[in-house]
Amino acid sequence: MRLIVARCEVRYSGRLDALLPESLRLIVVKADGSVLVHADAGGYKPLNWMTPPTVIEERPGRMVVRKRAGASEDRLEIEIYEVLCDVTYDMGSPDDHAALAKDGVEAHLQELLAERPECCGEGFRLVRREWPTDIGPVDLMCRDAEEQWVAVEIKRVGGIEAVEQLARYLERIRRDPALRSCRGVLAAQTVKPQARVLAQARRIAWVEVDLAVLRDEREPELKLFAA
């Protein structure tokens, strides 16, 4: 990894054109060819960057990073006016088994709800996870207390797209005469207002589920809103 602190000007051209005027910034060149240009504020996101694979061409006072992007080319031109620091560190093999382990993402939520489908609706029993349709799998397929079919879409944050997605699935599912009356439920940690409105219009129910409740196996306290 190479770290350069320098006064520089950056031009990007590719999917759009961008000009970053001269100022003091951090340039990171990673072992895999990644190049990042960071300011001393505005966390997370680089001002400019190029993801690998890249070809880096360097001359004194100038660095050009290229990338093949289909017919055209992405290009990052860094004009360097003053260098305050330029150091390189060998950080070891990249195939380290030091990968990031996450817990609490949507997949996890799906696992927990598969174990406790009744949290998605009164009397729900799981028929199968990842129920296939011709445009992709529905997260959960259940039957309710009246033996009616219910398709459940699970999201961490339930927005309009989630309602649309479930609506598309239902359209396909209901083509099967046996599933003609299949209902839909959107289950999410939070369901946004606009999504609630749209769900209402699409006759899709929604329910907010609490990850902590699912984990602790506390009383669910169903907050279900029918379509």
Residues found near DNA in the complex (CB under 7 A): 12, 14-16, 18, 42-46, 48-51, 67, 70, 74, 76, 100, 102, 105-107, 135-136, 155-157, 159-160, 165, 192-195
d(CA 145, CA 58): 68
Q: Considering only residues 69, 91, 127, 145, which one is a binding residue for a second copy as defined by CB under 8 A?
A: 91
Q: If we measure between CA atoms, which residue out of 18, 20, 39, 17 comes closest to residue 28?
A: 39
Stretch that binds a second copy, among 55-63, 143-151, 178-186, 192-200 (CB under 8 A): 192-200
- Least distance in angstroms from the C-beta of 133 to a second copy: 11
Asked if 147 is part of the footprint of a second copy (rule: CB under 8 A), the reply reads: no
Q: Which residues contact 168 (CB under 8 A, 6 or more apart)?
A: 135
d(CA 206, CA 78): 50
Q: Which is nearer to DNA, 159 or 184 (CB)?
A: 159
Asked if 137 is part of the footprint of a second copy (rule: CB under 8 A), the reply reads: no
Q: Which is nearer to DNA, 143 or 172 (CB)?
A: 172
Q: Which is nearer to a second copy, 51 or 148 (CB)?
A: 51
Q: Which residues contact 31 (CB under 8 A, 6 or more apart)?
A: 1, 91, 94
Q: Give helix 193-201 / helix 160-173 axis angle, nearest 10°.
A: 20
Q: Which does 200 bind (CB under 5 to 8 A by kind): a second copy, DNA, none?
A: none
Q: Considering only residues 160, 179, 224, 227, which one is a binding residue for a second copy as defined by CB under 8 A?
A: 160
Kind of pairing between the strands at 183-191 and 62-69 = unpaired
> For residue 144, which amino acid is it?
D
Q: If we measure between CA atoms, which residue out of 104, 103, 105, 178 comes closest to residue 141?
A: 178
Asked if 208 is part of the footprint of a second copy (rule: CB under 8 A), the reply reads: no
Q: Which does 126 bind (CB under 5 to 8 A by kind): DNA, a second copy, none?
A: none
Q: If we measure between CA atoms, which residue out of 223, 221, 225 comes closest to residue 206?
A: 225
Kind of pairing between the strands at 183-191 and 149-158 = parallel
Q: Considering only residues 59, 71, 89, 219, which one is a binding residue for a second copy as defined by CB under 8 A?
A: 89
Q: Considering only residues 61, 62, 73, 85, which one is a binding residue for a second copy as defined by CB under 8 A?
A: 85
Q: Find out whether 155 and 138 touch, Cβ atoms under 8 Å.
A: no
Residues that bind a second copy (CB under 8 A): 1, 3, 5, 15-26, 28, 30-36, 38-44, 46-52, 84-85, 87, 89, 91-92, 94, 96-105, 135-136, 160-161, 164, 168, 194, 197-198
